[in-house]
Amino acid sequence: MKATGVVVEYNPFHNGHYYHLQETKKATGADCIIAVMSGNFLQRGEPALLSKWKRTKMALLGGADLVIELPYAFATSHAPRFAFGSIYLLQSLGAESFCFGSESGDAELFSKTHEWLNDKQETYQEHIRSFMNNGLSYPSAASRAFESLDIPLALDLSKPNNILGFEYVRASRELGSHIRPVTIKRKNADYHDVMLGKGNIASATAIREAIFTNDAEQAAPYMPGYTLELLAQEQVEKGTLMNWERFYPLLRYQLLSTNPSEINRFYEVEEGLEYRMIEAMKKSDSYETFMKHLKTKRYTWTRLQRACLHVLNKVKKDEMLAILDSSPSYIRVLGMTGKGREYLGSVKKSLDLPLVTTVSKYDSAGLRLEAKTSLVYAQGAARDILRAEKEEFNTPPVIV
């Protein structure tokens, strides 16, 4: 069987995601689509709107055949490590290609840009450092550095999906991977759009904004019926959908009860950020207000959210780096269709990594971190800890 991979969060699954999966099948001719999906916490430093199990079901109903979990350490890291972990897992599962959405829509352009930048890497890094020394955030500095090199190509690395796509291609090249990159041009909505537009495709950002401003009915045309049903199920079961405001009291407690020197030991807390966090917290009764006080020109909103996430989960630098400095050490299956089960059966004996379907039967640093952060996630919905623990350790893969 021929497999292709996609890297996803599905927060929540919407019509644009459905379009991407259908176009992926057409572009690659794959028999099986493998989705590497982030768990309860996401790359932009946010809690997922609803559980990974519900999002897995959305993915399978929407066209994916096999869903595996991107471990917390990679799922909540900066773009290069996020991409590396994702591509490594797809390579480990024998995918022949991977397909990503981009503003460009030209896979060859990503490969050529990587080759050109690789030749100019030293100069590129010098320019990045120079722009950062002038107070720019890393993404802005990298974009400005790219522009300053006057590359004879048209890839716009200021666009979020182009940036991620470039990192996927770079990761596959650094791994010496045979996996072929394929890209689908994004349709209608930009990644950061906060307004619902014309047609039936909107960004996940705009859909979440509508859901949390009591405008969910207007968001309904932009999502498949099964997404709406699973969102409603989650609200009934947990009483709410997740966002940062649900976790802000827990974050405040961590900042109030932890010594600044200890806060500095949490991953991505650098350059005295712990003191700024404490001061911002004292002036803020909501997460939104807290972030506005915390924001600086040097750090992006996403970068700060990730730091807050690691403080919330009490994830220390040495704990994260021990995982990130190596490769993912297991393949955790979250769900599959009959086709996904067939594909797994065909590659199972040739896998280099252990295949995990029940967490309680396997132990690793990555899975221990996953279990810890899942219990924190459960607290956002004030869920029973024993029930949440049982769900994390004993839930079998979702079957569609």
Rg (CA), the chain: 20
Question: How far is CA 129 from each of CA 44, 140, 167, 291, rounded to the nearest angstrom?
Answer: 23, 11, 19, 26
Is 76 among the domain residues? yes
Averaged pLDDT score across all residues of the chain: 91
Whichever domain contains 196, its CATH number is: 3.40.50.620
- Least confident among 157-166, 201-210, 384-393: 384-393
Q: Is the pLDDT of residue 151 over 80?
A: no
User: Is the separation of the CB atoms in 56 and 326 below 8 Å?
Assistant: no
Rounded to the nearest 10°, the torsion over CA 249, 255, 258, 264 is 140
Q: Are residues 220 and 270 in the same domain?
A: no
Q: What is the pLDDT of residues 323-376, one digit of tens each?
A: 999 999 999 999 999 999 999 999 999 999 999 998 888 999 999 999 999 999
Average pLDDT over residues 139-168: 82
Q: Is the pLDDT of residue 256 over 80?
A: yes
Question: Distance (Å, rounded) from C-alpha 78 to C-alpha 305?
Answer: 12
Q: What is the pLDDT of residues 222-241, one digit of tens each?
A: 999 999 999 999 988 888 89
Is 72 among the domain residues? yes
What is the pLDDT confidence band of residue 145, given thresholds at 50, 70 and 90?
confident
Is 115 among the domain residues? no
Q: Is the pLDDT of residue 47 over 90?
A: yes
Say what the pLDDT of residue 317 is: 97
Q: Are residues 260 and 338 in the same domain?
A: no
| Residues flagged as binding site | 7-20, 101, 161, 186
Q: Is the pLDDT of residue 394 over 80?
A: yes
Is 144 among the domain residues? no
Q: Are residues 96 and 167 in the same domain?
A: yes
Is 360 among the domain residues? yes
CB-side neighbour CA atoms (13 Å) of 294: 27
Question: Distance (Å, rounded) from C-alpha 181 to C-alpha 162?
Answer: 13
Is 283 among the domain residues? yes
Say what the pLDDT of residue 153 is: 66
Q: Are residues 168 and 305 in the same domain?
A: no
Q: Are residues 271 and 253 in the same domain?
A: yes
Is 127 among the domain residues? no
Q: Are residues 268 and 337 in the same domain?
A: no
Classify residue 385 as exposed, middle or buried by CB count within 10 Å of its CB (0-12, 13-18, 19+).
exposed
Spell out the alpha helix ranges (H) of the chain.
Answer: 15-28, 52-62, 72-75, 79-92, 107-119, 121-133, 138-148, 160-174, 204-212, 216-219, 225-238, 244-257, 260-263, 273-282, 287-294, 301-312, 317-324, 338-347, 365-380, 385-394
Domain boundary among 281, 306, 321: 321
Domain boundary among 321, 343, 376: 321
Read off φ and ψ for residue 92, nearest 5 degrees: -65, -30
Average pLDDT over residues 7-24: 96
Position with higher pLDDT, 141 vs 172:
172
Question: Distance (Å, rounded) from C-alpha 34 to C-alpha 93?
Answer: 9
Position with higher pLDDT, 135 vs 31:
31
Residue 112 tokens, joined: 């050529």
* Spatial CB neighbours of 345, under 8 Å, sequence gap ≥ 6: none
Q: Are residues 257 and 362 in the same domain?
A: no
Q: Are residues 186 and 99 in the same domain?
A: yes
Say what the pLDDT of residue 155 is: 80
Q: Is the pLDDT of residue 139 over 70?
A: yes
Rounded to the nearest 10°, the torsion over CA 105, 45, 229, 241 is -160
Say what the pLDDT of residue 26 is: 96
Classify residue 104 as exposed, middle or buried by CB count within 10 Å of its CB (0-12, 13-18, 19+).
buried
Position with higher pLDDT, 196 vs 250:
250
| Residues flagged as binding site for ATP | 7-20, 101, 161, 186
Say what the pLDDT of residue 154 is: 63
Q: Is the pLDDT of residue 214 over 80?
A: no
Q: Is the pLDDT of residue 149 over 70?
A: yes
Say what the pLDDT of residue 127 is: 85
Average pLDDT over residues 186-207: 73
* Spatial CB neighbours of 16, under 8 Å, sequence gap ≥ 6: 101, 186, 187, 188, 189, 201, 202, 203, 204
Say if strands 66-70 and 180-185 run parallel, antiparallel, or are unpaired: unpaired
User: Is the separation of the CB atoms in 135 and 297 below 8 Å?
Assistant: yes
Number of domains in the chain: 2
Q: Is the pLDDT of residue 215 over 80?
A: no
Average pLDDT over residues 99-107: 93
Q: What percent of the chain has pLDDT over 90?
A: 69
Q: Are residues 88 and 178 in the same domain?
A: yes
- Least confident among 91-95, 128-132, 351-355: 128-132
Task: Please state, as a whole number, how many other Cβ atoms lie within 10 Å of the Cβ of residue 13.
Answer: 30
Task: Please state, as a whole number, how many other Cβ atoms lie within 10 Å of the Cβ of residue 383.
Answer: 16
Is 31 among the domain residues? yes
Q: Are residues 171 and 300 in the same domain?
A: no
Q: Is the pLDDT of residue 192 over 70?
A: no
Say what the pLDDT of residue 188 is: 63
Question: Distance (Å, rounded) from C-alpha 249 to C-alpha 275?
Answer: 18
Domain boundary among 321, 346, 375: 321
Note the pTM of the prediction, 2 decimals.
0.93
Task: Note down the domain range covering 58.
Answer: 3-103+160-241+326-399
Q: Are residues 308 and 212 in the same domain?
A: no
Q: What is the pLDDT of residues 241-251, one digit of tens each?
A: 999 999 999 99
Say what the pLDDT of residue 53 is: 95
What is the pLDDT confidence band of residue 190, given thresholds at 50, 70 and 90?
low
Q: Are residues 88 and 11 in the same domain?
A: yes
Q: Is the pLDDT of residue 156 over 70?
A: yes
Q: Is the pLDDT of residue 221 over 80?
A: yes
- Residue 47, by phi and psi: left (phi above 0), alpha (psi -120 to 50) or beta? beta
Average pLDDT over residues 285-307: 94
Classify residue 134 as exposed, middle or buried by CB count within 10 Å of its CB (0-12, 13-18, 19+).
exposed
